[in-house]
């Protein structure tokens, strides 16, 4: 059964992880589109400021200080949505955090804490939304934020990739079970590439240098656009950027080649060349990180203005053309990089003195070799 979802302007949306980055931008864009929003995160001050701003601009909003890893906190979010707006129509599981470091360097307590947020937060939120829609016999949407690292696992962010793979698997199983019951619910999975948010600033870090984004980066508005589309239009998957789709397709078409490229590039490619780690390994794992910021701090990069892949996905004919083009590119690269390819150790970091004056460092690695151009 394909559910008939309300127009965005008639909806109430619950958004977790709304104190910064993707969640913050999504809440602002949803409110401007006319939706009421219930925003949840651990940073109460950032949420209060967000709600105040939305209300000043004529919007409707409420907030809940919440740790999504605790099922009781999720229950309070539901109670707030029911009390303030008589329920909700879309639930967005966005809260997340990463850890940088090799598998054996990250303490098990950090692994568990990160899974509490990324995986169990998604499970708690999704099941709360299912019960809400089922018990009221109303259509509704659940939008889970995955990752292109949930399609192709990288080195160095192994714990995060593991959690996102779990999110992807859970979302697929949830969709099948809901559809088998005939319940009018849309279950969507968003696959973002690298996004310009405080992702690295919040992440736990066990590398010698600060984690950074380099290469192609997409604005958080591109992810928010995908989320808001799924809130009103049933959609199984949406990839944010050809970067994300290309990484998934390369991993499927040429898995060993993709592994080797990532082995060489990912360790140095995710570290700053100039800024040493500050020794704060846990950062926002166990307490709220700084909030109210949409963007992060990055080294020379190529910041896109948006994602044409998202816009194409909203139009089926363009989607088919985009997938055909990216698939052709992936096959060509797989053939080119087959027999005879050699791999050496990653080059050492380049000092500021030796680095040429950067215009745009487009060296993402596996997902940015001859990518299709997007605006």
Check residue 198 and give its pLDDT.
Answer: 86
Check residue 222 and give its pLDDT.
Answer: 94
DSSP readout, 324-372? HHHHHHHHHHHHHTSTT----PPPPPPPTTTS---S------GGGSSPP
Determine the structural domain holding residue 164 and report its residue range.
Answer: 8-338+359-368
Q: Is 155 exposed, middle or buried (0-12, 13-18, 19+ CB in 10 A)?
A: middle
Q: Where are the beta strands (DSSP E) in 196-328?
A: 204-205, 209-211, 215-217, 237-240, 271-276, 301-303
Check residue 86 and give its pLDDT.
Answer: 98
State how far the Cα of 221 lies from the Cα of 195, in Å rounded to an integer.
9
The CATH code of the domain that includes 296 is: 3.40.50.720
Q: Is residue 348 in a domain?
A: no
Total domain count, the chain? 1
Residue 62: beta bridge partners? 38
Q: Quick check: 11 and 27 in contact, CB under 8 A?
A: no
Q: Is residue 354 in a domain?
A: no
Q: Is residue 89 in a domain?
A: yes
160 is catalytic: yes
Check residue 303 and give its pLDDT.
Answer: 65
State how far the Cα of 290 lies from the Cα of 301, in Å rounded to an integer.
23
Q: Is residue 344 in a domain?
A: no
Catalytic residue among 160, 199, 206, 218: 160
Containing 40, the helix (H) or strand (E) segment is strand 36-41
State how far the Cα of 258 lies from the Cα of 360, in Å rounded to an integer.
24
Positions in the chain short of pLDDT 50: 337-375
CA neighbor of 97 nearest in space, from 291, 240, 281, 284: 284
Check residue 359 and give its pLDDT.
Answer: 37
Quickly tell me which residue has 């060349």 as its tokens: 273
How confident is the model over 228-238, as pLDDT tens digits? Answer: 999 999 999 99
Check residue 285 and give its pLDDT.
Answer: 87
The pTM of this model reads: 0.81
Q: Is residue 352 in a domain?
A: no
State how far the Cα of 126 lies from the Cα of 91, in Å rounded to an integer.
7
Q: Is residue 255 in a domain?
A: yes
Check residue 335 and give its pLDDT.
Answer: 59
Q: Is residue 1 in a domain?
A: no
């Amino acid at each position: 059964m394909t559910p008939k979802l309300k127009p965005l302007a008639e909806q109430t949306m619950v958004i977790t992880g709304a104190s910064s980055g993707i969640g913050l931008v999504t809440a602002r864009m949803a409110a401007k589109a006319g939706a009421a929003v219930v925003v949840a995160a651990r940073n109460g001050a950032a949420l209060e400021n967000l709600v105040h701003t939305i209300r000043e601009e004529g919007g409707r909003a409420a907030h809940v200080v919440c740790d999504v890893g605790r099922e009781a906190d999720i229950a309070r979010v539901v109670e707030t949505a029911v009390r303030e707006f008589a329920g909700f129509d879309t639930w967005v599981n966005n809260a997340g955090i990463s850890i940088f470091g090799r598998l054996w360097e990250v303490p098990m307590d950090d692994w568990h804490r990160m899974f509490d947020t990324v995986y169990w937060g998604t499970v708690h939120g999704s099941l709360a939304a299912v019960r809400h829609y089922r018990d009221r016999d109303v259509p509704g949407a659940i939008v889970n934020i995955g990752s292109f690292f949930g399609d192709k696992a990288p080195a160095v962010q192994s714990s995060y990739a593991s959690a996102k793979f779990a999110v992807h698997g859970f979302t697929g199983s949830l969709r099948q079970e809901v559809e088998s019951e005939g319940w009018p619910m849309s279950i969507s999975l968003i696959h973002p590439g690298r996004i310009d948010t405080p992702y690295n600033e919040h992440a736990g870090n066990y590398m010698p240098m600060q984690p950074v984004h380099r290469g192609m980066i997409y604005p958080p508005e591109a992810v928010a656009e995908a989320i808001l589309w799924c809130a009103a239009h049933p959609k199984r998957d949406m990839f944010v950027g050809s970067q994300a789709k290309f990484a998934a397709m390369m991993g499927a078409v040429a898995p060993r080649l993709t592994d080797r490229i990532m082995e060489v590039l990912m360790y140095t490619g995710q570290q700053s060349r100039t800024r040493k780690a500050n020794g704060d390994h846990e950062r926002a794992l166990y307490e709220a990180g700084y909030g109210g910021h949409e963007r992060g701090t990055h080294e020379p990069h190529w910041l896109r203005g948006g994602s044409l892949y998202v816009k194409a996905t909203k139009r089926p004919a363009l989607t088919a053309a985009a997938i055909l083009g990216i698939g052709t590119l992936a096959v060509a690269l797989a053939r080119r990089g087959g027999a005879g390819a050699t791999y050496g150790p990653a080059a050492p970091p380049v000092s500021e003195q030796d680095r040429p004056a950067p215009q745009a460092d487009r060296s993402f690695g596996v997902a940015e070799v001859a990518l299709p151009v997007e605006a």
